[in-house]
């Protein structure tokens, strides 16, 4: 089944407000028909970047959220506030959140429920470390993360779900999974989704993330189960990100 390619740029802790606005303004006329594109700035840049993207084909997402709407949760941001800032997407469970900020499959699940309830599009990140891959745990890790994230959520509520498969060992390292490794992992994830949500698995888009660049994007995106990319470093440069977006159309 044909799935619309989705390219999202995760800016992480990079780009000032002015730099983010400038990048989006340059990107607006570089999104081809038939490709979905979003950028995910820091929380402080969310509103101005969303304003800069307004009326264009560039969507905007947050890099994380909290599952409570309001309350005594210093430093947290709820899906309601994210939507109010003009965002449409939320990245959940990124490996850096898991590694540095104690994110677990259970907290990803709570956040996913909150994001869906607000009508935002979730980008749920999964992926194995190098130790896990070399230890033969790839499939066990991916299955645990998929099942844990979706626990207790009916398939009918997951129509907008996006999964981002990011082998942790390839994020920011310059290492990239081979096209076959990427395809095999994506096919396995889709099989796990099918076991959990049935036929919806054929409509869920699974992005690849991990040192995606203009020179490898076309080959990676050409794999049958790779439906887009969650781009890190290359999304910080307009020319590089635009080239990856163009590769999704090719």
Catalytic residue among 36, 96, 128, 166: 166
In this prediction the pTM is 0.96
Assess if residue 244 is contained within a domain: no
Residues 21/60, Cβ–Cβ less than 8 Å: no
Task: Say whether pLDDT at 250 is over 80.
Answer: no
Q: What is the pLDDT of residues 74-114, one digit of tens each?
A: 999 999 999 999 999 999 999 999 999 999 999 999 999 99
Task: Say whether pLDDT at 237 is over 90.
Answer: yes
Assess if residue 118 is contained within a domain: yes
pLDDT category of residue 203 using cuts at 50, 70 and 90: very high
Q: What is the domain count for the chain? A: 1
Alpha carbons 210 and 197: distance in angstroms, whole number: 26
Give the residue from 1, 5, 56, 62 showing the smallest Cα distance to 217.
5
Q: Is 94 part of the annotated catalytic residue set?
A: yes
pLDDT for 1: 57
Task: Say whether pLDDT at 174 is over 90.
Answer: no
Catalytic residue among 36, 94, 103, 128: 94
Assess if residue 43 is contained within a domain: no
Describe the chain by its helix, strand, coil percentages, rounded to 5: 50, 15, 35
User: What is the pLDDT averaged over residues 119-147?
Assistant: 95
The domain spanning residue 147 has which CATH number? Answer: 3.20.20.70
Assess if residue 101 is contained within a domain: yes
Question: What is the greatest pairwise CA distance in the chain?
Answer: 48
User: What is the pLDDT averaged over residues 210-228?
Assistant: 94
Assess if residue 142 is contained within a domain: yes
Q: Is 186 part of the annotated catalytic residue set?
A: no
Alpha carbons 109 and 49: distance in angstroms, whole number: 27
Q: Which domain holds residue 207?
A: 64-85+96-128+136-233
Alpha carbons 245 and 228: distance in angstroms, whole number: 9
Q: Which two tokens stand for residue 64?
A: 């994380």
Task: Say whether pLDDT at 220 is over 80.
Answer: yes
Q: What is the pLDDT of residues 14-43, one digit of tens each?
A: 999 999 999 999 999 999 999 999 999 999
Residues 237/199, Cβ–Cβ less than 8 Å: no
Assess if residue 37 is contained within a domain: no
Give the residue from 213, 209, 221 showing the smallest Cα distance to 240.
213
Distance of CA 7 to the CA centre of its chain: 8
Assess if residue 187 is contained within a domain: yes
Assess if residue 105 is contained within a domain: yes
pLDDT category of residue 236 using cuts at 50, 70 and 90: very high
Per the prediction, the chain carries an average pLDDT of 96
């Amino acid at each position: 089944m044909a799935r619309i390619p989705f390219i999202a740029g995760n800016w992480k802790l990079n780009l000032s407000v002015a730099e983010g606005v400038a990048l989006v303004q340059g990107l607006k006329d570089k999104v081809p028909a038939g490709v979905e594109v979003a950028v995910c700035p820091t929380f402080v840049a969310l509103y101005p970047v969303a304003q800069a993207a307004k009326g264009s084909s560039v969507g905007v997402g947050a890099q994380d959220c909290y599952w409570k709407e309001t309350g005594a949760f210093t430093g947290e941001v709820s899906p309601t506030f994210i939507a109010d800032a003009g965002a449409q997407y939320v990245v959940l469970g990124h490996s850096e959140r898991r590694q540095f900020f104690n994110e677990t499959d259970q907290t990803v699940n709570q956040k996913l429920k909150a994001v869906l309830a607000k009508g935002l599009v979730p980008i749920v990140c999964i992926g194995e470390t190098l130790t896990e891959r070399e230890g033969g745990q790839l499939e066990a890790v991916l299955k645990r993360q998929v099942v844990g994230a979706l626990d207790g959520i009916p398939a009918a509520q997951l129509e907008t779900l996006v999964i981002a498969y990011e082998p942790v060992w390839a994020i920011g390292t310059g290492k990239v999974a081979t096209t076959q490794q990427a395809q095999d992992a994506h096919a396995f994830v889709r099989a796990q989704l099918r076991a959990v949500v049935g036929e919806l698995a054929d409509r869920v888009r699974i992005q690849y993330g991990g040192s995606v660049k203009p020179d490898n994007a076309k080959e990676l995106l050409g794999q049958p189960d790779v439906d887009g990319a969650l781009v890190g470093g290359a999304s910080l440069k307009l020319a590089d990100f635009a080239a990856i977006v163009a590769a999704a159309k090719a």
